[in-house]
Amino acid sequence: MASSSSSSKTGLKKMLTLKSSDGDEFELEESIVIQCQTIKHMVEDGFSLIPLQNVDTKTLTKIIEYMKKHAEKTESNKEEIKNFNKEFVKGSFDDQFELVSAANYLHINGLMDLLCQSIADRINNKSVRAVREIFNISNDYTPDEEEKVRDEHKWAHEGGEFDESLD
C-alpha cells in the first residue's frame, strides 16, 4: 500500500521520495533516510526520487519503520529502541530473507547487524537437518560429498547433542 505523503508541512525539512519495486512511493525526511548509505550517496549526487528496484513495498515499509524509529534515537530512549529491535525481528522468518537482502543492498549497517544476529541465533545449537528445514535449504551434497564433509571432522560430532526442533 502506498502511503501518500503525510507530513510535508514541515517546511524546511528536505523531503525525499523512495519508490519500491512495486511502484509505490514513500515520502520521507532526508534526515531519516540517510541512515541508509546507498541512499545517502544518491542524495549527495542530487537525487530526490529514489527508485529501489530490489526492494518491494512490503519490505520497504518494514525498513522505513526501522529507520524512523532509529532516527529518534537519543541517549535516553536506549531501552525503547532495544525493545523495538526485539519486536522487529520477531516477524515471519521468510520476511527476514527479503529484509536482510534489502538491508544489505541499502547498506543500513545497524539493521544488517540486527538481522544477521537474529538469524544466526536461529541456527545456534541446531542439527544440520533442523537448519535445512528452518531455512528451506535442500541438501545438494552428493552422498559421497556428504560423507566426506562429515568425516572431515568426525571427532567433533561424537556428542550429537544438537537440537532437532524447528523453533
Partner 1 sequence: MHNEREASSSSSIAPPPPLPSWADLPAEITANILLRLETIEILESAQRVCTSWWKVCHDPAMWRVVDLKYNIFSSIRDRVLEKICKIAVDRSQGQLLKISIVNFGSTDLLNYIAQSKYVDEAGIFYCCRVQNETLLMLCWEERKRRGTVKRDERRKSLVKQQREDCANQSFDSESESWRQSHALSSTILEEQLIAVRCTKLRYARIRGRAVPQGSIVHSLTLHFCKRLNPWLESVTS
Which of 1, 124, 144, 167 touches partner 1 by CB under 8 A?
A: 124
Nearer to partner 1, 45 or 152 (CB): 152
Q: Which stretch binds partner 1 (CB under 8 A): 36-44, 46-54, 65-73, 131-139?
A: 131-139
- Least distance from partner 1 to the Cβ atom of residue 146, Å: 7
As a whole number of angstroms, the distance between CA 67 and CA 131 comes to 30
145 binds partner 1 (CB under 8 A): yes
Distances (CA, A) of 153 to 62, 127, 150, 156, 164: 41, 15, 6, 5, 20
Which of 3, 7, 117, 165 touches partner 1 by CB under 8 A?
A: 117
Beta strand residue intervals within 5-154, DSSP E: 15-19, 25-29, 49-51
132 binds partner 1 (CB under 8 A): yes
| CB hemisphere CA count around 16 (13 angstroms) | 23
37 binds partner 1 (CB under 8 A): no
123 binds partner 1 (CB under 8 A): yes
Helices 109-123 and 57-71, interaxial angle, to 10°?
A: 110
64 alpha carbon, distance to own chain's centre: 11
Q: Residue 26: which of 6, 54, 46, 47 has the closest Cα?
A: 6
- Least distance from partner 1 to the Cβ atom of residue 88, Å: 17
- Least distance from partner 1 to the Cβ atom of residue 77, Å: 26
Distances (CA, A) of 43 to 37, 99, 141: 10, 22, 45
- Least distance from partner 1 to the Cβ atom of residue 145, Å: 7
99 binds partner 1 (CB under 8 A): no
Q: By the criterion CB under 8 A, which residues form the site for partner 1? A: 94, 97-98, 100-101, 104, 112, 116-117, 119-120, 123-129, 131-133, 135-141, 145-146, 149-150, 153, 155-157, 159, 161-162
